[in-house]
Amino acid sequence: MPTAPALDISGIEKRFGEQRALAGVGFQVPQSGIFGLLGPNGAGKTTLLRMLNGITAPDAGSISFFGEPLTRAHLPSIGYLPEERGLYKSMRVGEQALYFAQLRGLDKKEARERLRYWFDRLEVDGWWHKEVSEVSKGMAQKIQFILSVLHEPRLLILDEPLSGFDPINAQRIREVILELKAKGDTTILLSTHDMGSVEEMCDEVALLNRGQLVLNGKVPELREAARDGRYAVTFRDTVMAFTVALGASAELIEVNPNPEVPGEHLAMLRLPAESDIATWVRWISEQVELTSCTPWRPGMRDIFIRAVEHQKQPVA
Amino acid sequence: MNKLALIIYREWITRVRRRAFIIGTLMVPVLLGLGVGLGAWLENAEMEENKVLVVDLSGMITFWDDTRQAYLPICPECFPEREQLEYRFADAALSDDEFLLSDFTSMVLLDDAILQHGQAKNLYEKSPSITAQNAIERDLAAAIERFKVKEELALDYEVYKRLKTKVSLVGEDIITKDGNATGRSIIGFVFSLFMFMQIMVYGMHVMRGVIEEKANRIVEVIISVVRPMELLAGKIIGIGLVGVTQVIALTVLGFLVFQVGGQALEVSGVLTSASNEAVELDFETWMASNDLLGFVLEVNWPLMVVCALAYFAAGFFMYAALFAAIGSAVEQESDAQYLMLPAMLPLFAAYITAVMAIQNPEGQVAVIGSFVPLTAPILMLIRLPLGVAWWELVLSLLGVLATAYGFVLVSARIFRTGILMHGKKITVRELFRWVRHD
């Protein structure tokens, strides 16, 4: 029997007055991986995340959670770190963590034990008795992250989890997220604008724009599918010699000194669709000293920009 | 602990343990005591040193004493010795220069015209205080009265004093047999005032709490775990319990102050019978026999406290729901001002009516107001010490409860939409739209 997806989102519609926030959005989030929810500002991501958390309800469509229609009864199995997040300033850190943990359904003793582990793991253990107003923004961010994973949810929704962190702490949080993925008990829905993180961590993505799903699939497949005949070529010769040798055999998009190998140049070029790359490499190597030639796969950033810019028509 | 209980507990504990709450609660009886003491001190302090020359031009109230070589009052007891008021008498006025050079602060000129129009001229360099003027007027009136009794009626003044009769009305409700309406209405007013302050202060706490959660963006995490209605209810109940905690603390403190103060007075022996100063009384008997304070013991305190708590609970829920809705519709406290005004108007109207109702708690406005749900929590309390029929109490309280319920339902609709709205100025029309759309 095939495993039910962690989330099966189908035909979701949502209007706020005259504004159509989501227009028939549907996709599946498989279990036990990291799924990226991408989209420019105002694409409808936050509205969708709020629906998953029972904060707002769709006007139409359905959401299944591990094979069951999503209800409030599932909320204890969901962890949520919203993009706009905060803590009570006049409460002590530990007391506040216990409060949220208990709201998530943990009993006090268990919550205390788990908090001890996580506070130690993310190096906030010295802050238990401090008031939130005394801790730094980064420290508060870590506490908020802990509160979203503490109850070991089946689905963890992280909205821009790395924003506000310095590179060291961002890396630490990234490691924790990858570790949760590796354990396989948690499905992670990651909403972010950081395309580096998407490439590094996400298995699959869905891209929303103007309330519609414009792209959905596995990251390597999307990158492969987005290939447009470009190649990255390195050579040991002058740019002039390379340009002359190239002639009309390929379109030179750009050429720059290779920052990693002195004396070498790095060129981006596009071969005509009918060209055979092996033949072309043999031919050009007779004229200039070619050191490498690799097919260029666009990054998620390029895919994102291209997809958003291609969807120009207004949504009713 | 379930989620609602958790929210209630958080709202309650984070407030009652604040230093400001503890100090504020302890300071209320201290400030009240200081207020009373300050009032008494000011009354005495206001009276500066007064040396008054009474010039009896017609010889009505003074005589020449050969042995003392001075004019003395015919009625010495009419001019009692006072700390800051001293009298001298003469039969001729000083010239202006002489007066200015003298150590007299006032010179009162009396002639027999006073018998017709009741006025005497008072000359001074610096106007005496109202307290001093009142004392001088009282003393002169007594002396002139004695003169009139003797000259016009040929009566002995002591006989006249015995004949003189003062009547004061001692009120008693024909049904409840209770008396002292004025004293009781003052107690009612104190309760009303306290209710007004509690609803106002803790209503504002609710509003600030909502604004804090909205501004800090905590609310998004919380309502992903609890329903907005649960959050709203938890917040209102938790903060309401802070108010109840304060009432209980003040009741206990008040009781202790009453007991300890009473015992201290008993030990000091200053509590004596009004008819016989040699008889020392215990505090309760002294209170009961005291004209001014006796009514305090006659008030049905358990009923007052129970009703105050019931009206506080219902009234607070009603107003707190309003304040919470306002808090959820704004980004920061300063934006709330224009929405606060309509919400606070009935509270202020009730307070002003209560002030006016001290003189006449059973007046039409106060009676009607005690049934209008928005003003009832304040105005019913001022009527309560005078005795209110049970059906009136039930009707009024049910009205407040029904309105509170309605307000909570309406407020919840505004709250659940408003708390997630950011960066948009909310209009009253928009609030109505949120309420209409389920």
Please answer yes or no on whether A85 and B422 come within 8 Å at the CB atom: no
Distances from the Cα of A51 to the Cα of A153, A191, A215, angstroms: 17, 14, 20
A100 and B CB contact within 8 Å = yes
Please answer yes or no on whether A88 and B226 come within 8 Å at the CB atom: no
Phi first, then psi: give them for residue B185, nearest 5 degrees.
-65, -30
Query: Residue A64 above 90 pLDDT?
Result: yes
pLDDT given at position B43 = 55
CB A63 within 8 A of CB A231: no
Mapped onto helix, strand or coil, the DSSP state of residue A293 is: strand
Please answer yes or no on whether A99 and B6 come within 8 Å at the CB atom: yes
Q: Which is nearest to A161 in space by CA: A184, A136, A144?
A: A144
Residues of B with CB under 8 A from a CB of A: 1, 3, 6-7, 10, 14, 18, 212, 215-218, 220-227, 420, 422
Strand ranges in B42-149 using DSSP code E only, listed in sequence order: 50-56, 62-65, 70-73, 85-90, 106-110, 121-124
Element (H, E) at A295: strand A289-295
What residues of B are in contact with residue A75 (Cβ under 8 Å)?
224-225
Percent of chain A with pLDDT over 70: 98
Around Cβ B169, how many Cβ atoms within 10 Å? 7
CA A98 to chain centre: 29
CA angle A131-A157-A170, nearest 5°?
A: 60
- Any idea which of A152-156, A205-209, A285-289, A296-300 has the lowest mean pLDDT? A296-300
What is the DSSP track for B118-181? ---EEEESSPPPHHHHHHHHHHHHHHHHHHHHHHHH---HHHHHHH--------B-TTT--B-H
What is the DSSP track for B193-252? HHHHHHHHHHHHHHHHHHHHHHHTT-HHHHTTTS-HHHHHHHHHHHHHHHHHHHHHHHHH
CA B140 to chain centre: 34
Percent of chain B with pLDDT over 70: 84
What is the DSSP track for A250-275? SEEEEEEE-SSSTT-EEEEEE--TT-
* Burial (Cβ within 10 Å: 0-12, 13-18, ≥19) of residue B67: exposed
A104 and B CB contact within 8 Å = yes
CB B315 within 8 A of CB B404: yes
Please tell me what DSSP assigns to residue A298: -
Please answer yes or no on whether A50 and B420 come within 8 Å at the CB atom: yes
What residues of A are in contact with residue B220 (Cβ under 8 Å)?
50, 55, 80, 82, 84-85
Q: State both tokens at A309.
A: 């810019």
Instruction: Select the residue of A56, A76, A89 nearest B216 (Cβ to Cβ).
Output: A89
Q: Which residues of chain B have pLDDT under 70?
A: 1, 33, 35-37, 39-47, 168-183, 265-299, 437-438
* Residue extents of the structural domains in chain B: 49-159, 178-436
* Burial (Cβ within 10 Å: 0-12, 13-18, ≥19) of residue B167: exposed
At which residue do the structure tokens 């390597």 appear? A220
Q: Which is nearest to A197 in space by CA: A225, A219, A212, A214?
A: A219
A50 and B CB contact within 8 Å = yes
A315 and B CB contact within 8 Å = no
Please answer yes or no on whether B224 and A54 come within 8 Å at the CB atom: yes
pLDDT given at position A114 = 93
What would the CATH number be for the domain defined by B49-159?
3.40.190.10
Please answer yes or no on whether B225 and A84 come within 8 Å at the CB atom: no
CB B318 within 8 A of CB B350: no
* Burial (Cβ within 10 Å: 0-12, 13-18, ≥19) of residue A101: buried
**pLDDT per position as a tens digit, A172-212:** 999 999 999 999 889 999 998 888 888 888 999 998 888 88
Please answer yes or no on whether A85 and B217 come within 8 Å at the CB atom: yes
Around Cβ A191, how many Cβ atoms within 10 Å? 24
β-strand partners of B63: B72
Q: Which residues contact B218 (CB under 8 A, 6 or more apart)?
A: A85, A86, A87, A88, B212
A82 and B CB contact within 8 Å = yes
CB A270 within 8 A of CB A231: yes
Q: A84 to chain B nearest CA, in Å?
A: 6
Q: A104 to chain B nearest CA, in Å?
A: 6
Q: State both tokens at B216.
A: 């800090």
Q: Which of residues 133-152 of A touch B (CB under 8 A)?
A: 144, 147
What residues of B are in contact with residue A90 (Cβ under 8 Å)?
14, 18
Instruction: Select the residue of A90, A103, A144 nearest B6 (Cβ to Cβ).
Output: A103
Q: Which domains does chain A have, with CATH numbers?
A: 7-224 (3.40.50.300), 228-296 (3.30.70.260)
pLDDT given at position A316 = 42
Please answer yes or no on whether B6 and A91 come within 8 Å at the CB atom: no
pLDDT band, very low/low/confident/very high, at A315 (cuts 50, 70, 90): very low
Distance CA B117, CA B156 (A): 24
Q: Give the residue on B whose Cα is nearest the Cα of A96.
A: B10
Q: Which is nearest to B68 in space by CA: B88, B48, B38, B92?
A: B88
Element (H, E) at B313: helix B301-329
What residues of A are in contact with residue B430 (Cβ under 8 Å)?
none
Around Cβ B406, how many Cβ atoms within 10 Å? 13
* Burial (Cβ within 10 Å: 0-12, 13-18, ≥19) of residue B9: middle
H-only helix segments in chain A: 45-52, 93-103, 108-121, 137-149, 167-183, 195-201, 219-225, 239-246, 277-285, 300-310
Instruction: Select the residue of B6, B224, B422 nearest A75 (Cβ to Cβ).
Output: B224
CB A74 within 8 A of CB A111: no
Give exposure, B127-139, as e/b (b: 16+ Cβ within 10 Å).
Answer: ebeebbeebbeeb
Distance CA B235, CA B240 (A): 8
Instruction: Select the residue of B14, B215, B227 nearest A90 (Cβ to Cβ).
Output: B14
Element (H, E) at B329: helix B301-329
Query: Residue A266 above 90 pLDDT?
Result: yes
Q: Which is nearest to B420 in space by CA: A46, A265, A99?
A: A46
Q: A95 to chain B nearest CA, in Å?
A: 10
